Structure 1
Amino acid sequence: MNNDLIRTYSYRISQANRSQLVVVIYDLAIDYLKEACQLEKVEEKRHNIVNAGRAIDQLIVGLNMEFDLSQNLFIIYNHIKRSLISASVKLDNGELERVIALLSKLRKSFYEVSKADESAPLMKNTQNVYAGLTYSRLGACESVTNNANRGYIV
């Protein structure tokens, strides 16, 4: 995962409410698995599979087991974890594609839920990010403000 994508995910996480955060975690897992499918080096492929597994772990930790839906999701997430372990051992892109398809379906469902959730972001006092394009004779350049105090005033 490149630095721009990491910054994008960091921003999305800092601005997300509970349901949006679940969607971000799904996106992270899917991106790691898509990248793993494209990689040839075994160690890099396994590293991305492990990172996707960590994202699934976060989804498992966030479940409230008092609800039947959470228990069903727990079963699905455990199946995904077993599939990731199998894919990591066998280096099977077909297994990874099946996991990506399953995660994409779940993500779509949670995305629909997140559109209805109007609660406040979980993180408070986060840095405001303003970005835009500036134009010069050399072309367009991206401009991002960088607040040096990062939300702290002394």
Structure 2
Amino acid sequence: MSTQAQNVYMKTQATTAHPGELTLMLYNGCLKFMKQSMINIERREFEAKNTNIQRAIDIVEELQITLNMEYELSANLFSLYAFIKETLMEANIGMNKDHIQECINLLIELRDTWVQALKQVKSGLQVNTL
């Protein structure tokens, strides 16, 4: 599939997705960029590493913006996202794959929890929105 066709597909997917699925797409995109940045470090591709970490940080910031701060859980998530952003910035400066892996582990946990929440919503159970 060409890059242009891929971009059109992704844009269509994002504009037609349910809000909960958009959050899942953000988690998956962030994980993709963090994993790619680790490969960039191994290959000594410094500019690409910086670009991928910055993309991951941008997604984390978007996740922060979308939180509904009326809930205590949202405040906790905001702090966790802030920690992830700070850790990614340190990893970017220090070329530290361990820091990136720590962020990947945290985000995988959040993503998997989100997937479970989406399943509950789809099965008709009530889940408060963040």
How many Å separate the matches in 1 of 2:7 and 2:38? 19
Report the structure, 1 or 2, having the larger helix content: 2
1:4-40 CA distances to partner (integer Å, 9 max, x unpaired)? 7655543431231111111100001000011111112
1:27-55 CA distances to partner (integer Å, 9 max, x unpaired)? 01000011111112111101100000000
Residue in structure 2 matched with residue 35 of structure 1 by the alignment: 36
**CA RMSD, Structure 1 to Structure 2 (Å):** 1.8
Structure 1, unaligned runs of 5 or more: 119-154
Structure 1 residues 111 and 7, CA gap change in structure 2 (3 angstroms): farther
What TM-score do you get using the length of structure 2 for normalisation?
A: 0.82
Equivalenced residue count is 117
How many Å separate the matches in 1 of 2:103 and 2:57? 11
Structure 1 residues 80 and 8, CA gap change in structure 2 (3 angstroms): farther
What TM-score do you get using the length of structure 1 for normalisation?
A: 0.70
| Identical counterparts, % of pairs | 26
Structure 2, unaligned runs of 5 or more: 123-130
Q: After the TM superposition, which segments of 4 or more aligned residues of structure 1 sit over 6 Å from their partners?
A: none
Residue in structure 2 matched with residue 17 of structure 1 by the alignment: 18
| Higher CA-based Rg | 1
How many Å separate the matches in 2 of 1:102 and 1:30? 10
Corresponding position: 1:63 with 2:67: yes
Between 91-100 and 108-117, report the one with greater CA deviation.
108-117
How many Å separate the matches in 1 of 2:114 and 2:83? 19
